[in-house]
Amino acid sequence: MSKRRLVTVVSVMSLVALLSSCGVIRGDDEEGQKGTVTTGVTNDPCPIPVDKNKGCIYLGTISDLTSGPFAALAVPITQAQKAFWNRVNRAGGIGGKYEVDVQAYVRDNKYNPETHNQVYQEIKNNVLGLTQTLGSPTTAAIIADLKANNVVAAPASWTSAWEFEDVIVETGSNYCVESMNAVDYAVETYQPKTVMAVHYAGDYGADAAAGAKIAAEKNGLKFTAVETPSGATEQGRAITEITKNKPDLVILTTGPADAAAVIGQSAAAGFKGRFIGTGPTWNPALLQSPAAEAILALYEQSSPGKPWGADTPGHKAMREALGDVTPSDGYTSGWAWAYPLKAALEKMVAGGDISRKGLLAAVKSLTTVDYEGMLPPEAGNFSGDPNAATFRQTLINKPDKAAPTGVTIVRDFFTGSTAQSYTMDGPCFDKL
């Protein structure tokens, strides 16, 4: 190729890339919103309306849709929320006046905070709020902007920092409380003397490790924390620490593949203690991995909500709405996360102040949310001080090959004594 042709090709390619990144060559965005009521709300119907006489509330989605570590959960979360809002629209929409669109502004964050912020800036002037902002570190990258512009967002993460942010409508107990309850459960069931937290850095792993530490201290157990990087081949140190120190209980806060590497290889080296992993450590595919035997023998999962197959009206509605899909608790979490936003939108429309401020005011006035049985109504308390509003009930599941998502409940919603008496006065991960 001659130099001139090469220069031409490169120039054309860079122009295409530029136009595409500016959103010129992309078919999924709305071309401006006519009949605007406020940012992200129009009197015109949604792009795919159920009833053309209703207006449209646009909600954005920023998720890990392709190549990040949580893509296996993020795609079902996003699909479930699409189905959730479709069901809301079919049932008459919000206050009989508006339908909700969650398909026009879906963006991929690749689990990268910079990308997350970049795509948020792309869509923020077109949406009233976010029905999903996936990840703790990624959401931390936009939290200042969310607060400055009163943008209400439903997180797809459970860090304790969200208890202290008005604009974040979280659902279910945070990692910190979840691990406190996990340790309390283990104390009752297995009487451990030593606890080790094997965790990622940051406000996912460190949050859970901090909860485990608080509970271990309260129960008079010896506690150690081992921070581990992501990547199944990078778990050598965590495995060595486990097999060398032989803790009675390991609280795991990693991704599923890394959890399998840690559990499987520790067991292969003769470790016989118990593992309890936080919700995101589980993926039913682990039961097909070489670590399956060890997982069935040694592992339990703490969880902020009931699994896919649970018998509640919410779970049933979700299964019906999603139809014939491979069960995943990504769907379950995604569906449950949408309830508080629905409640707040209904309250906002009923109150008449249809704006970002109106939505935030509606969120702050919520004391309960109807989760259709998926979670207790008090999980949806967003008023009052964080300590009083923090929801403290979690479950314990065990692996079960016969269950749709590979786990069944061994302990239904409970609050351990540590979480009960703990004063939530700041994000837990600062206390590790």
Partner 1 sequence: MKGVLESLIRGLGNGSVYALLALGFVIIYKATRVISFAQPAFMIAGAVAVSYLAGTVGFYPAVLLATLLVAGLALGIERVAIRPMVGRPVFVVAIITLGVDVVVRVVVNGFIGLDVRQVGDPWGLRPVEFAGLAVQQRWVAMFLTTAVLVALLFAFFRYTRYGLAMRAAAFDQETALAQGVSVGTVFALSWGLAGGLAAIAGTFVGTGQGVDQLTWIIALKALPAIIVGGLDSLGGAVIGGLVVGVVESLVQSYQGDLAPWLGQNFAIVTPYAVMLLVLLVRPYGLFGTPEVERV
Other CB atoms within 10 Å distance of the CB of residue 314: 21
Helix (H, G, I), strand (E, B) or coil at 196: strand
Binding to partner 1 by CB under 8 A, coded x per residue (else -) over 26-65, reads ----------------------------------------
In whole angstroms, the minimum distance from the beta carbon of 314 to partner 1 comes to: 25
Q: How far is CA 429 from CA 7, 70, 283, in A?
A: 51, 21, 25
Q: Nearer to partner 1 by C-beta: 89 or 253?
A: 253
Residue that is written with structure tokens 């890394």 in the block: 258
> In this structure, what DSSP letter does residue 46 have?
P
Q: What are phi and psi of 252, to 5 degrees?
A: -100, 135
Number of helices and strands in the chain (H, E): 16, 14
Out of 240, 312, 368, 417, name the contact with partner 1 by CB under 8 A. 240
Can residue 237 be called a binding residue for partner 1 (CB under 8 A)? yes
108 binds partner 1 (CB under 8 A): no
Q: Tell whether residue 296 is a contact of partner 1 (CB under 8 A).
A: no
Output 59 or 292, the one with its CB closest to partner 1: 292
270 lies in the binding site for partner 1 (CB under 8 A)? yes
Nearer to partner 1, 89 or 132 (CB): 132
Instruction: Report DSSP state, residue 45.
Output: P
- When the beta carbons of 155 and 255 are compared against partner 1, the nearer one is 255
CA distances 162 to 80, 176, 242, Å, are 22, 12, 31
List the x/- string, 73-102, binding to partner 1 by CB under 8 A: --x---------------------------
Q: Given the complex with partner 1, which of 57 and 242 has the nearer CB atom?
A: 242
**Are residues 137 and 207 in contact, defined by beta-carbon separation less than 8 angstroms?**
no
How many residues line the site for partner 1 (CB under 8 A)?
Answer: 38
Q: Compute the least distance from the CB of residue 301 to partner 1, in Å.
A: 17
Using the rule CB under 8 A, is 241 a contact of partner 1?
A: yes
Instruction: Give me the least distance between CB of 370 and partner 1, in Å please.
Output: 31
Sequence-distant (≥ 6) Cβ neighbours of residue 22 within 8 angstroms: none
410 vs 285: CA distance, rounded Å: 20
Residues 6+ apart with CB under 8 A from 54: 45, 46, 93, 96, 97, 98, 99
Q: Determine the Cα–Cα distance for residues 34 and 39; give it in Å rounded to an integer.
A: 11
Among 47, 290, 313, 426, binds partner 1 (CB under 8 A): 290
Using the minimum distance from each CB to partner 1, give the nearer residue, 77 or 186.
77
- Residue 129's DSSP bridge partners are 59
Q: Measured from the CB of residue 108, what is the shortest distance to partner 1 in angstroms?
A: 13
Identify which range of 121-129, 158-166, 240-248, 343-351 contacts partner 1 by CB under 8 A: 240-248
Task: With CA atoms as reference, report the closest residue to 273 among 218, 359, 390, 194.
Answer: 194
- Interface residue list for partner 1 (CB under 8 A): 1, 66-67, 69, 71-72, 75, 226-234, 236-237, 240-241, 244, 256-257, 260-261, 264-265, 267-270, 283, 285, 288-291, 294
